[in-house]
Amino acid sequence: MKISIDASISDLEDHQIIDILDGNCNISISDNSWAAIDSSFQYLQHKISSTDTIMYGINTGFGSLRNVGINDEDIEDLQVNLIRSHACGAGAKVPISIARLILFLKVRSLSYGYSGVSKELVQRLINMFNDDVIPVMYEQGSLGASGDLAPLAHLSLPLIGEGAVYSNDSIMDSAEYLRHKNLSPYVLKAKEGLALINGTQFSLAYLQASYVRTRQLLRAANVTAAMSIEGFNCRLEPFHEAIHSVRPGNGQPEIATFIRELLHDSAHMSEPKVDVQDPYSFRCIPQVHGATMNALNHIGQVIANERNSVTDNPNIFVEEDMVISGGNFHAQPLAFASDYLCLAAAELGSISERRLYLLISGLRGLEPFLTTKPGLQSGFMIAQYTAASIVSMNKQLASPSSVDSIISSNGQEDHVSMAANAGVKVWQIVNNVATVLAIEWQAAAQAVEMKDYPISSKLRAYLKAYRKHVSFLDQDRPLQPDFEKTKAFFNEINWFA
């Protein structure tokens, strides 16, 4: 697939984001974007050569060194020193999928023509993306204000032949990549280093990837919950349209409708029930899953706005003859959105673990721990421990980052968003939720087959497909490989088909 980047506001579909994450697309830039980029670059070069105007980060130092003037002959060295000095990342390497998205988003932001960079610089970034040569970055180091400085400095190092890149499933020195391509290290021009490391692309990429993944997991959570409803012999009345019509706008009517349609031809669900009410983790699925859907709708808008924004500093306005230093690099909107997604995703795992607990509790005709030989076998006993551990970890990770701040740069940068930390946390939470849902799904499938009664046609089809990956648990075995196979199964299924 090919994505054409344009200087006008545009949107991307989930499948396009997935293609970027998976390395299944190339990118190009439209003619009007190239024109905007070049116009901004030529304007800035003329401004530098024709006036003595002091412009932050262009002919001055950075941060608290903002008032230190830089001679024209030192401007290029200033930009190289900026990249090198800011490449202070630490911790785990950014997953290559998210690193691809960061690179894409950096190109997207520069394409608007408000950053003063050259066409050659942008083309180098595009070539790296299309060659799937992705800069190695690190998760720790950004405060989510002044841009994601440290990780984006690592993104920039390969341009000057330093740092490292992912290439062909391995890591190589950037200098080797340049030699392989017969390229010289790029010579950074005025403002280009600052344009590269200023911006919210690291924070945004983690949020964007987590958002798309959560949308997939919400679909899986709905189907998994329906399978658990079948296995636990629940009532359908809580999903009746009348209940949700009097509480509209919270996402819950859509969830209730989906589950009703999924279960509509289940012979078992139409039979009389002994229990008058079901526990909340079953009865309130539309309310809880619906709240996550509602959160996703808001978060998706925040992401779309940021993806169509220019977030480096200063910004260059050619027609107005202005170079303005501001604060578009401050990622507070992303920090809030990431924290919100932490909560919305974590709750999908929390309610899933409660349904799992009930499925293994020996209630409603099910054997304790869903074993075929209780006592001799432990079945899903410790699988629930694992889910509980993960859910507890998610609660700890969901503590908000956005209320935190710490002073940096000698007090010049005195309020920061911590959006990068929030982004890294939400990615971890989302992947944790995938594991919890996988455990519930396996247990729900076990429960349905142990009862051996007719379930809905869609669930029956899903179960048949699933058994090609993971077999019925007729005797104890290590379950960790099953969890991984179940998550792989989730990734293959179009839950709305």
Q: What residues are labeled active site?
A: 56
Residue whose C-alpha is closest to residue 303's, from 432, 212, 402, 394? 212
- Are the C-beta atoms of 371 and 379 separated by less than 8 Å? yes
* Cα(398)–Cα(383) distance, integer angstroms: 23
* Cα(327)–Cα(416) distance, integer angstroms: 11
- What is the dihedral angle through the alpha carbons of 258, 259, 265, 268, rounded to the nearest 10 degrees? 180
Angle in degrees, CA 90, 95, 100, rounded to 5: 110
Question: Which positions ≥6 away from 120 have C-beta within 8 Å?
Answer: 186
How buried is residue 256: exposed, middle or buried, by Cβ count under 10 Å (0-12/13-18/19+)? Answer: buried
- Are the C-beta atoms of 185 and 159 separated by less than 8 Å? yes
Task: Note if the bond before 95 is cis, omega within 30 degrees.
Answer: no
Question: Which positions ≥6 away from 47 have C-beta within 8 Å?
Answer: 53, 55, 323
Number of Cβ within a 10 Å radius of residue 364: 17
Q: How are beta strands 170-173 and 164-167 bridged, if at all? A: antiparallel
Residue 366 CA: distances (Å) to CA of 89, 272, 445: 51, 18, 12
Helices (H) and strands (E) in the chain, counts: 18, 9
| Beta bridge mates, 210 | none
Query: Residue 29, SS3?
Result: strand
Residue 344 CA: distances (Å) to CA of 91, 239, 487: 26, 21, 20
Give the 3-state DSSP-derived string for 151-193, with helices as H, strands as E and coil as C: HHHHHHHHHHCCCEEEECCEEEEHHHHHHHCCCCCCCCCCCHH
- Are the C-beta atoms of 220 and 430 separated by less than 8 Å? no
